[in-house]
Amino acid sequence: MSSTNFITRNPNPLIDLSEQTFGRLTVVTRTPNNNRGDVMWLCFCKCGNQKVIRGACLRAGTTKSCGCISRELASARNWKGGRSKTGDGYIKIKKSNHLNADKKGYILEHTFVMSEHLGRPLEKNENIHHKNGIRADNRLENLELWSTSQPFGQRVEDKVAWAKEILRQAVLDKYRNK
């Protein structure tokens, strides 16, 4: 048998991916092959992260980001339109610009419903009571506005002064709403 010189050709020649963009990833440079011999590339993602990615995944389009796209999609799936239930059964809603909203932009729905009905934000000495006791039932007919302020003492003149202040606030509110 005679020996023949065979020139073997690599069926998958190395393709330089440097400076090419795949989805959100821009290839920077080649890195050492992984333990299976796959060609690996250092990429920068538009979100600011960097990650080493298999070249075959880049070319096939199966990897388009550092993982930020998956995180964004997962976050979007969890979005409930800014409405959720608190641990104690109240409904909170996202209303970032409301004066009664917390630092994260959420307000208890019953507070929002009463505030809209009154045409003003609730005062610090006011709260909302659910008549039927069901904290998630925020229909206006199920809500009552309560004053949480108390007179300083039990003397008659203290109670009268307190009642006058409540009436004064009610008159001011009436004129504000006109």
- pLDDT tens track for 31-90: 999 999 999 999 999 999 999 999 999 999 999 999 988 888 776 676 667 888 999 999
Among 64, 93, 122, give the residue marking a domain's end: 64
Q: Does residue 162 belong to any structural domain of this protein?
A: yes
Same-domain check for residues 115 and 36: no
pLDDT at 158 over 60: yes
Question: How many CA atoms lie less than 13 Å away from 174 in the CB half-sphere?
Answer: 6
Taking only the tens place, the pLDDT of each residue in 138-154 is 999 999 998 877 666 66
Q: Does residue 6 belong to any structural domain of this protein?
A: no
How many structural domains compose the chain?
2
Q: Does residue 166 belong to any structural domain of this protein?
A: yes
* Residue 93 φ/ψ, nearest 5 degrees: -130, 155
Angle at 21 between CA 20 and CA 22, to 5 degrees: 125
CA–CA distance, 68 with 50 (Å, rounded to integer):
11
Helical spans, DSSP H, in the chain = 55-60, 68-78, 109-118, 156-176
Give pLDDT, residue 125: 84
Range of the domain at 172: 83-176
User: Confidence band (pLDDT; 50, 70, 90) for 97?
Assistant: very high
Closest CA to 129 of 147, 116, 115, 151: 147
Q: Does residue 52 belong to any structural domain of this protein?
A: yes
Helices (H) and strands (E) in the chain, counts: 4, 9
Q: Does residue 89 belong to any structural domain of this protein?
A: yes
Q: What CA–CA distances, in Å, run from 93 to 17, 109, 118, 129, 167?
A: 47, 6, 18, 18, 32
**Residue 145 near residue 131, CB atoms below 8 Å:** no
Give pLDDT, residue 111: 96
Give the β-pairing of 50-54 and 40-45.
antiparallel
**Residue 125 near residue 148, CB atoms below 8 Å:** yes
Among 34, 64, 94, give the residue marking a domain's end: 64
Same-domain check for residues 88 and 30: no
Give pLDDT, residue 148: 77
CA–CA distance, 18 with 89 (Å, rounded to integer):
55
DSSP state of 82: S
**Residue 18 near residue 27, CB atoms below 8 Å:** yes
Could you tell me the two tokens for 47?
């979100």
DSSP state of 10: -
| Whole-structure pTM value | 0.48
In this prediction, residues 122-145 reach a mean pLDDT of 92
